[in-house]
Structure 1
Amino acid sequence: MRLLPILAALALVVPIVAGPAPAQAQQQPADAYPSRPVRLVIPYPPGGSTDQLARALQQPLADFLKQPVVVENKAGAGGAIGTDMVAKAPPDGYTILFANSGPNAILPLLRKTPYDTARDLRSISTVAFMPMILAVPADSAAKDLRSFLELAKANGAVELRVRGKRLHVPFGGEYYLNMVSGLKLAHVPYGGAAPMMTALAGGQLEAAFVTGMDGTPMVQGGRIRYPGIGTPKRSSILPTVPAIGEQVPGFSTVVWFGIMAPAGVPEHVAARLHAAVVHAVGRPEVQRMFIDRNVEPRTSTPEELDRLIREESVQWKEVITRGGIKLD
């Protein structure tokens, strides 16, 4: 009979001991991410250089994560619409952004955006760096970088490039070159890369800053030439092309691409995504695809990407202010 109070007490204790177990079971272990498809948002239309680079990573990312990676193009407002969509997505790692310089470092300097990159997005890693390249028609009198600069000083050579959606391009061209070199190149906007490249190859333009993805076919076809590349020193992707920074100290115009996630993603999710990006960029087929298009594959730590964005913002703010640049 003396056992009854003890047994009754034990019966009351059991639920208290067992109670926390269901709550613990609901916590997702670090290795459970991802358990469903991951959405990779590209803030530009299909077919462009950003889209091509992002899609090259799609299958390697899926292989590493062991879940499908679904690409979604969310274009508009200079990349702001897609960027804002990711910034406002649940911070669970299932919606990530293929980010670049334009909407993350330049656009916020020109107009108010519905997101704040530093506050609303978390850097995962860079993916690639794409230098802007100075191009001239094949029969141009500017046979090399030195003669181009001399002609520009003497004649005010016209430099033309896309503006609007691809925000990094005009700033990395004549505005910046004018600022650091004292030249007075004129900016004449084009509505897209294709008509501009056609005009350049046809000799209607004196010079342009182009991407390797746009220019390579015409260089190979002997229709345009590259007097210089927009890097401080010679680039491994075009080692025979002089760096503009060699003759114009301080000049550098390189577009970065990277992966970002909504701020607040758990540490283990961010780490898993970083490992996936490093794996994907390191794949031989991805390396070849990037290098064939004059794009340098390069990953980074999240902190390095954060620092890059801050440094770019300082650089382009000066260019925008001194150039009096405004969006149409």
Structure 2
Amino acid sequence: MIKKTLVRTWLLAAGVLGLTASALAQTYPARPIKVVVPYAAGGSTDQMARVIQQPLSEILGQPVIIDNRAGAGGAIGTEAVVRAEPDGYTLVFGNTGPNAVGSLMRKLPYDVLNDLKPISTVAITPMMLAVPSNSPANNVKEFLALARANPGKFNYGSVGPGSLSHLTGEYFNELAGVQLQHIPYKGGAPMLTAFLGGEIQAAFVTGLDGGAMLATGRVKYLAVGTAQPTPVVEGLPTVAKDVPGFQTSAWFGLLAPKGTPDAIVARLNAAVAQALSRPDVRQFFVSRHVEPKGSTPQELTQIIRAELEQWRPIVVKHKIEL
């Protein structure tokens, strides 16, 4: 009798919780939504979040507020969202670092796969192989010949230790059989200065960081890191053409705290898709060599899992720590 009573109590509680989640989803959103950007204002991630801020506000009928919480490579802002109420009013505009590969290099106060609920990707940017404009190399094949003729003498820059640009450089060394030396910088701007000063002979850059470099006329792209040529960098060949198997890109997207009702996630996912269909939003991304691209929550989960598998051997072999 006691067992049956306990079962009935559990079923009743589950039903109440289900009704509560359903009611919440039907009235959502009823107040402003906060999107935490776990980096300082003005950076690549912040720019991408702000370009969809107003469209999302209009589509959802509530203000979308950007909250910059920088620190620990994005982990501080991400943790704040992990610990927030799972009601759809606190989200994180995440990316490859704090929401995937960061967990391979340091102990994070959250689990990248289990403590957040993916909503959708917002943009994908290929990593481009950039070299100084006065480099004698005009394609990957010529660059490899130069690097192999000068083992240990060619440097590649990154936007910081453990960054995707760092991991991609070591990945390139591994697959191409070269010995480019890593030199980390504190962001894209210092790395650009290093390019202009001749300190580095190569770097793997995102569309946003690379765009600022291209604008100086002192940097050129040799190839793109996607498996196939991409229209966002029209006419650029792939690194994989000369380095078989090479593939790397960075994603940016929205995630919610674990436990956020599926109906709210679906509402947000549809809003992102609608925002990305707007011509002005698409133009912002494409003009910066970034692909505006939404996804299902399940697809974003798979992207994160694939990144963990791809980068774990590189992190372990080269003992990369943060």
The two structures have a TM-score, normalised by structure 1, of 0.88
Relative distance call for 1:25 and 1:193 in structure 2 (3 A) is closer
> Take 1:296 and 1:303, find their aligned partners in 2: how far apart are those partners?
19
**Off by >4 Å, runs of 4+ in structure 1:** 24-27
Q: Using the TM superposition, name which of 286-295 and 233-242 deviates more.
A: 233-242
Give the corresponding residue for 2:5.
none
Query: Which residue of the other structure, out of 155, 165, 168, is the alignment partner of 1:169?
Result: 165
> Take 1:204 and 1:163, find their aligned partners in 2: how far apart are those partners?
15
Question: 1:26 Cα shift?
Answer: 11
Relative distance call for 1:152 and 1:67 in structure 2 (3 A) is same
Q: Using the TM superposition, name which of 137-146 and 194-203 deviates more.
A: 194-203
Instruction: Indicate if the aligned counterparts of 2:88 and 2:264 stay in contact, CA closer than 8 A.
Output: yes
Give the corresponding residue for 2:273.
278
Matched, 1:128 2:123: yes
Q: How many residues are paired up?
A: 302
Alignment of 1:226-305 (within 5 A): 226-305=221-300
Give the corresponding residue for 1:204.
199
- 1:300 maps to amino acid: S
Question: 1:27 Cα shift?
Answer: 7.1
Percent identical: 48
Give the corresponding residue for 1:55.
50
Instruction: Indicate if the aligned counterparts of 1:201 and 1:218 stay in contact, CA closer than 8 A.
Output: no
Q: Using the TM superposition, name which of 318-327 and 57-66 deviates more.
A: 318-327
> Take 1:135 and 1:29, find their aligned partners in 2: how far apart are those partners?
48
Question: 1:201 Cα shift?
Answer: 2.6
Q: Which runs of 5+ in 2 are unaligned?
A: 1-18
Question: 1:224 Cα shift?
Answer: 1.1
Query: Which residue of the other structure, out of 140, 157, 161, is the alignment partner of 1:160?
Result: 157
The two structures have a TM-score, normalised by structure 2, of 0.90
- 2:165 maps to amino acid: V
Question: 1:115 Cα shift?
Answer: 0.7
Matched, 1:81 2:76: yes
1:178-233 alpha-carbon deviations (Å, 9 max, x no partner): 11121111101122221210221343321122222122244244211111111222
Give the corresponding residue for 2:10.
none
Give the corresponding residue for 1:21.
none
Q: Which runs of 5+ in 1 are unaligned?
A: 1-23
Between Structure 1 and Structure 2, whose CA radius of gyration is higher?
A: 1
> Take 2:122 and 2:42, find their aligned partners in 1: how far apart are those partners?
18
Instruction: Indicate if the aligned counterparts of 2:225 and 2:249 stay in contact, CA closer than 8 A.
Output: yes
Instruction: Indicate if the aligned counterparts of 2:155 and 2:199 stay in contact, CA closer than 8 A.
Output: no
Question: RMSD over aligned Cα, in angstroms?
Answer: 1.7
